[in-house]
Structures are given as structure tokens and as C-alpha cells.
A = this chain, B = another copy of it.
Amino acid sequence: MSYSVEPAQGGVTAPDGFRSASLHSGIKAKTGALDLAVLAADTVGTAAGLFTTNLAKAAPVLVSQRHLAKSGGRARAVVVNSGCANACTGDDGMANALRMTTETAQAIGCAPEEVLVASTGVIGVGLKMDRVVPGIRGAAAALARDKGAEMARAIMTTDPFPKDHAVVVRTSRGHFHVGGTAKGSGMIEPNMATMLGFLTTDAAVPPALLQRALQESARRTFNAITVDGECSTNDCVFALASGANGVTVDEELYPALQAAFYEVSKALAIGIVRGGEGATKLITISVRHARTLADAMQVAKTIANSPLVKTAVHGADPNWGRIVAAAGRSGVLFDVDRATVRVGGVLLFEQGLPHDDAAPEAATHLKGSEVCIDVDLGAGGDESATVWTCDLSAEYVRINGEYRT
């Protein structure tokens, strides 16, 4: 089965059969700031979810996990708020997360377990339900096809810009769309899912295939990014399939769905990193010739989370020594003398020795806004991994010394 995946207009409502609405309910203090969104399929479709591995799971994470299990992977809508994480909020928090789903279900006409819920913002603060409930009713009454971009803004917290993406997949059995939106931008090293992400498709996809496509694409996208090594209490990414355009994804069409999920997830994941707190540069770290994928990922993530590497990149210093030191402490076994380090394609370290004459060329590369670090472990294997991160700036410290997560 041959197929093509091409960029398309729009975001989370680009696929047929989805509408959304966003508004300022009053959770955020700033007048007019969007803080609540409802995304709904026209009829009940299938759904999949990935959730934070943090033991301190927020109430909306627990409620969404239960609803997906109870509905057997079917959902009609997602309700999401920003400005309050509804995490560490005890029994009241659970009741409030549940109420968000029942209010949404009642407003659009479906069962509560067919509604998923997500929250993002300050931990340990209760939701103002006297604002959330009217907000949900208002949003449910205003659902429209052309409001996908608003949802991308409504889920933002410290994100400097909204993130959405869509593609159209063309196959000999017809075409379908995949769209999505996501938000960061601190406490980002998802482990199973990113802070918040929402994917949609107008193909019909059985729940098991939808879950598989979400997991497979997240492994090399949402789970391959890090801003600060922090895995949050609220991380989750949902996929909803409306089936509105008549194409049904089976094993034959699965690779096309998977490719489209990867494209959309990658664009959103890189968007999260670009919009990382205080970020001025996108850093792409590729590790090759590892013995296992896990080894490649571990080395790449250790480099990506190294504050010394991140500050060196921030200062445009081609400090390959910090890259070698981070790889060396990653816990993965390799022979340092067989490893090479390239920055912007420029060879800086080989056979245990520096190529300092090349440092000025690498420094020029580092002054740009997109930085590539390539490490060849020479470990005799053929596994590779790519991880995206951002630099560490004084602005990150300022944001997180002042902002209450």
C-alpha cells in the first residue's frame, strides 16, 4: 500500500467530524485570556491515551484513565482547562475533574465516560467550579469547525506561542486527515506522554490500532523531547478518531496512519521544545551506532539534560568536552576512544582527541537558532536515537523563580 503524507491547513479540527470552542471562563486572572476548551466529535468515535508515569497523578489524569477503560476506548469529547492543574487536590479535585466530564457530557449529549478531561497550570490549587461549569456550557454551545486555532491558544500556560499541525494522508483506498495541538513548556520530559497533546483523525480506527499508533509515534516524538528533565503530574496525550470521512484503518492502512501520527506528533513535540521556558535554540541530538535503542536514547537524553551542555550551547561554546563527559556518565558502556562528536556536522572529537582547529566553525554553527549535536558511539551496534531539547538560559531561571507551577 503506497501512501503520501502532506501538510494540511488547520490543527485539531482539520479532520472532518470535529468541532471545538474555547473561551475565558475566569480560571486565569487575566481578562479575556482563554483558559477552557471543549473538543468534540459529531458522533462517538474511538479514543486512545498516554499518561504521565509520575506517581503524583493529577485528578484529570486518573479520571481520563478510568473513562478510557470503562468506555472500552470510545470517546466523544475532551474538555481541558489551563491555569490550574487540579493536581494534589484530594477528593475535591477528583470530584471536580469528574464534574467537568459530566457537565460536558450533559451539554453535548453523551455518556460521562465518553468524555476525557485534562488540566494544566498551578499544582495544589482547586478549580473554581463556579467559573468552570458555566464555561463548559458556554463552550459546548459554541462548537465550530473553524475554532481549532483557538484551542491551541486556550491550553497554553507559559508557552510563548500556540502549537498545532495537520496533515492529509492520501492512499489508494481514499484520504484522511490527522490534526493535533499540544502545549509545554516547563516540567517537560514526558515519559509516556507530553504535558498535554491532542490528536484527531477523521479515519475510523479501532481502539487497539489507535492506541498502537499513538504509542509508536510518541516513542520517537513526545517521549524524545526534554526541556528540563521534569516529568509532570498532568502529562497526557489523547487521540480521537471520528471516522467521519469513511476510510477505515486496518493493518494494511496502519503504516499510513502511523506515518501521519508521527508527522503531527513530531511537529508538536519540536514546537514544545522551541517554546521551552527561556529557550533561544532548538538542539537536535542524534546518537548512532549504539548497541540498543535504549542505550542510544539514554546517551541522547543524558546529553540533552546536561545543564553544562545546555549552557554551553546557550553561550555558543563548542564545548565537546561536556558532551563527552555527559555521554560518559550516562551509564551506557562504550569505548570513548572509538566515539566521535560532531557539532553542526563539524568533527570536534575523535580517537580520544580534540580537533580544536575546527572549533571556530562549530562556534559559528552554535550562534544560529538550530543546533545539531551528533555522537557516534562506535559501540558496534546499529541503533540510533534522536532527542530534541533547548538551551538553558537565565530566562528559564527567571521564569521558574517567579512563576508558581
Contact between chains at B124 and A229 (CB < 8 Å): no
Binds B, one of A37-45, A104-112, A236-244, A395-403: A395-403
Taking a contact as CB atoms under 8 Å apart, the answer to whether B328 and A54 are in contact is yes
Q: Which residues of B contact A229 (CB under 8 A)?
A: 305-307
- State A397–B313 Cα separation when bound (angstroms): 11
Query: Complex formed: what's the CA distance from A232 to B325 in Å?
Result: 6
Partner of A324, one of B56, B90, B321, B351: B56
Contact of A187 among B233, B308, B317, B327 (CB under 8 A): B308
Q: Does residue A258 face the partner (Cβ distance < 8 Å to B)?
A: no
Note all chain B residues with C-beta closer than 8 A to A392. Answer: 307, 397
- Which of B230, B321, B404 sits near A329, CB closer than 8 Å? B230
Which of these binds chain B: A138-146, A263-271, A352-360? A352-360
The reply on A389 being an interface residue by CB < 8 A is no
Near B by CB (< 8 A), chain A positions 39-81 give: 53-57
Of the A-B pairs whose beta carbons lie under 8 Å apart in the complex, a sample of 13, sorted by A's number, is A55-B333, A56-B325, A56-B328, A89-B353, A123-B321, A123-B325, A124-B354, A230-B307, A307-B392, A307-B400, A319-B405, A322-B405, A396-B397
Contact A349 B88 (CB under 8 A): yes
The 10 closest A-B CB pairs, nearest first, are A315-B401, A123-B321, A56-B328, A394-B394, A311-B400, A231-B329, A55-B328, A54-B328, A124-B354, A90-B353
Q: Which of A376-405 contact B (CB under 8 A)?
A: 392-394, 396-402, 404-405
Which B residues lie within 8 Å of A88 (CB)? Answer: 321, 324, 336, 349, 352-354
User: Cβ of A334 < 8 Å from any Cβ of B?
Assistant: yes
What separation, in Å, do the CA atoms of A311 and B89 have in the docked complex? 23
A35 within 8 A of B: no
User: Is A249 in the interface zone, CB < 8 Å from B?
Assistant: no
Given known contacts A315-B401, A397-B311, A397-B314, A329 and B89 CB-to-CB distance under 8 angstroms: no
Check A123/B308 contact, CB under 8 A, given A55-B334, A401-B315: no
Confirm or deny: A116 has a beta carbon within 8 angstroms of a beta carbon on chain B: no
Cα A362 to Cα B103 in complex, Å, equals 38
The interface size of chain A toward B, counting residues with CB under 8 Å, comes to 62
CA distance A401 to B353 in the complex (A): 23
The answer to whether A90 and B325 have CB atoms under 8 Å apart is: no
Closest approach, in angstroms, between the C-beta of A316 and any C-beta of chain B? 8
The interface residues of chain B lying within 8 Å CB-to-CB of A320 are 124
Binary per-residue interface labels of chain A (218-248) against chain B in the complex, 1 for a CB within 8 Å, 0 otherwise: 0000000000111111000000000000000
CB distance from A369 to the nearest CB of B (A): 16
Contact for A397 among B124, B334, B397, CB less than 8 A: B397
A96 → chain B, closest Cβ, in Å? 14
Contact B405 A329 (CB under 8 A): no
Cβ-defined contact, A404 with B311, below 8 A: no
